[in-house]
Structure formats: structure tokens, C-alpha cells
Amino acid sequence: MSKGQDRLSALMARGAAFLGAETAILAGAMSWVSERNLVAAVSNAGGFGVIACGAMTPALLDAEIAGTKALTDRPFGVNLITMHPDLIDLIDMCAKHGVGHVVLAGGLPPGGAIDRIKASGAKVICFAPAMALAKKLIRSGVDALVIEGMEAGGHIGPVSTSVLAQEMLPEIAGTLPVFVAGGIGRGEAIAGYLEMGAAGVQLGTRFVCAHESIAHPAFKKAFLRASARDAVASVQIDARLPVIPVRALKNASTELFTAKQREVAGSLDEGKVAMAEAQLQIEHYWAGALRRAVIDGDVENGSVMAGQSVGMVTKEEPTTEIIATLLSQAAAALESRAAF
Ligand SMILES: Cc1cc2nc3c(=O)[nH]c(=O)nc-3n(C[C@H](O)[C@H](O)[C@H](O)COP(=O)(O)O)c2cc1C
């Protein structure tokens, strides 16, 4: 082993042990994309795959976990959205299968969710977009945190990964494992965040064009053609309808989303819908739009969620290659830094 590889293994040891994987590279759950094939491929390649439950029913999640287990003996996780109406049943489904890691996304977990997961023996991973929230989650007993910057694909917060990493790693990385996400396209960045105290990293965009990803060929082609500046955040148009921004490739759906917000705001004006229902309609818009792009291949009218690292996705390749490339870039960076 080279000095760089040694250093990389040492820096990843804590995160890898936490995940039960060879490396501390998580493939973040991506709705419709992170199903059994990609998840198993990532875990088989030494990373840590995570099933995106999204809006799945407990029965569908049951089948997806079983399908993933048929493709890999290695550990993988399940990502659950906290506002899912059947959250407790989904947690119990993970427990039934002995899933070792549950990732809770989409806001503060409702009371009891963290304890219920922990009671099953699984570890709980949550997203912490700000320090105050991180501290609250740590007090609630989470086992690890993901800090994700606004460079990421999908739903995003307002702060960049580099700032979150500087603000949060020095304070919390000693308390529990912290994984850094958002905008990571190459191993040099992975080396940097590990040196800053991260236990590991989470990447989404970089895995979309893996051979094993079932994303429609048109969806992958859109990724291969795009550059960083094409991955833009959605814009909120009505102060009453808070929209969690979503980063996706610019296309006709960007305009459709504006039109959808106008329509929902109009219904609010006329008293046709209540606020909660209006906000739900906005969220449902994204779930449907992402499916249209990932599964049906309609990359104009669907939502092509992608992070700014999309410009570094230059070919379709096996998952093993993606992970091997990231690791060798990280090791080379650490080797050259060690030389001085
Ligand atoms: C197409 C797509 C769909 C995503 N869907 C989800 C999701 O359902 N749940 C979730 O927690 N994160 C989701 N994400 C975020 C990823 O899990 C991951 O945190 C993010 O992609 C990391 O940033 P990066 O894209 O810059 O690598 C999605 C990202 C993309 C690109």
C-alpha cells in the first residue's frame, strides 16, 4: 500500500466501521434511482448503498429490501422521508429485515421515530443543515449526521458545503461520525473533507450514470451533457408557500414549477385549499416530476434533479470504477500532501 492509501484508510476507518463497509463512501438515496440494482452495486463495490423509500408503501419497501438482499450480502441502508404518513410502519419494515442503518430525511423526525429505530438495533443517520439542528439531533440520540450543502442535487438548504464543513466539523465531528455531502465529484475533495474531520462522504449525482443505475438513458444523457451551471435551484414565487428549493437541470419543468406555484397560490386566494394541502400539492409535484424524468425519460417536462458536480460526470461506467477512481484520486491527493 502507498503512503496515500494508508492515510486514506486511516482517515476512513471510523466512518467505514460505523457503516460496516470497506470504505466511508455513502451513495446518497435518490428517489427512483436508488433501488435494488444501484444500492447493491454500491455496497458490493465497497461503498454503502441506501435505498430511497420516497413515497413507497410499506409493501413496496418490503419487496425492495428483499430484492436488494438477493443482490448483496453487504450492509446497506434505507432512507425514509419523515413526513411519510406510514413512517412508523416503514420503520417496522426495516426492523423486520434487520436493516442496520436508517437515514431520516426531510425535516426533524417526529417524536418516537428515532427511539423506535434504535430499539430495533439499527443505527440512525439524520441530515443536519445547521448547527442548532445538529445539536438537537445529537441530544435526541442520532448515531451519525450528514451535513449537506446547497451544491447538492435534489432538495437543498441555503448554505454551501464548504461553509457547513468549516462551521460544523470542528464542533461535532468529535462527538459522532459526520458525513459531508453536496458537490463532491472527485477524490481530492473527499481527501479534503476527511482531513477536516469528516468520518466519510455522501455522493448522489456522481452515481446516477453508473451502469447499474436504472435511470432512463435520456436521463443519463442529460447528465453527461450538462455542466455545473445548468444545475439550478428552483425559485419560490409566493411568500405564503414556502418552497424548499430543489436543484435540477434547467428545462421546461423549471417553468412548469413556477406555473404550478401560481396555480396553487390562486387556489389559496380563492379559499379552495387549506395551507397544508397547498404545500403538499407542491411537494407532490416534485415526486411526480422526478419519476417522469428518471423512469419515463421525459427530461424536458420532468425534473432532472442533479447537483453542481454534474459537470464531472463524463461517462457511463460501472459502479466499481466510480468508487475505484474516487479512492485513487483521494489517495493520490493525500500522498502528494504528505510529501511536503
Ligand atoms: C436525482 C436525485 C434524487 C434525490 N432524491 C433524494 C431523496 O429521495 N432523499 C434524500 O434524502 N436525498 C435525495 N437526494 C440527495 C442525495 O441523497 C445526496 O445527498 C446528494 O445527491 C449529494 O449531493 P451531490 O448530488 O452533490 O453528490 C437526491 C439527489 C438526486 C441527484
What pLDDT sits at residue 340? Answer: 58
The reported pTM is 0.96
Ligand 1 pocket by Cβ (under 6 Å) = 28-31, 33, 52, 54, 79, 105, 148, 151-154, 181-184, 202-206, 305-307, 309
- Sort strands 246-249 and 25-27 into parallel, antiparallel or unpaired: unpaired
CB 103 within 8 A of CB 204: no
Could you tell me the three cell numbers for 168?
A: 460544523
Closest to 289 in 3D by CA, of 154, 156, 127: 154
268 alpha carbon to ligand 1 midpoint, in Å? 30
Residue nearest to atom 11 of ligand 1 (CA): 105
Residue nearest to atom 8 of ligand 1 (CA): 31
Instruction: Give the list of residues 6+ apart from residue 79 with CB closer than 8 angstroms, or none.
Output: 28, 29, 34, 50, 51, 52, 53, 102, 103, 104, 105
* CB atoms closer than 10 angstroms to residue 150: 20
Q: Which atom of ligand 1 lies at the shortest distance from residue 149's CA?
A: 23
Type of residue numbered 112: G
Domains of the chain: 3-215+312-334 (3.20.20.70), 217-294 (no CATH)
141 alpha carbon to ligand 1 midpoint, in Å? 24
Could you tell me the three cell numbers for 227?
A: 455542466
Residue nearest to atom 15 of ligand 1 (CA): 154
CB 206 within 8 A of CB 312: yes
172 alpha carbon to ligand 1 midpoint, in Å? 23
Instruction: Write the pLDDT tens digit of every residue in 63-88.
Output: 999 999 999 999 999 999 998 999 99
Q: Which atom of ligand 1 lies at the shortest distance from residue 308's CA?
A: 26
Instruction: Write the pLDDT tens digit of every residue in 208-258.
Output: 999 999 999 999 999 999 999 999 999 988 888 888 899 999 999 988 888
277 alpha carbon to ligand 1 midpoint, in Å? 25
3 alpha carbon to ligand 1 midpoint, in Å? 33
Residue nearest to atom 10 of ligand 1 (CA): 29
231 alpha carbon to ligand 1 midpoint, in Å? 13
CB 196 within 8 A of CB 158: no
What pLDDT sits at residue 239? Answer: 86
Q: Which atom of ligand 1 lies at the shortest distance from residue 206's CA?
A: 27
Residues of the chain whose pLDDT is less than 50? none
What pLDDT sits at residue 43? Answer: 98
154 alpha carbon to ligand 1 midpoint, in Å? 5
Between the alpha carbon of residue 253 and those of residues 48, 292, 293, the distances in Å are 32, 11, 10
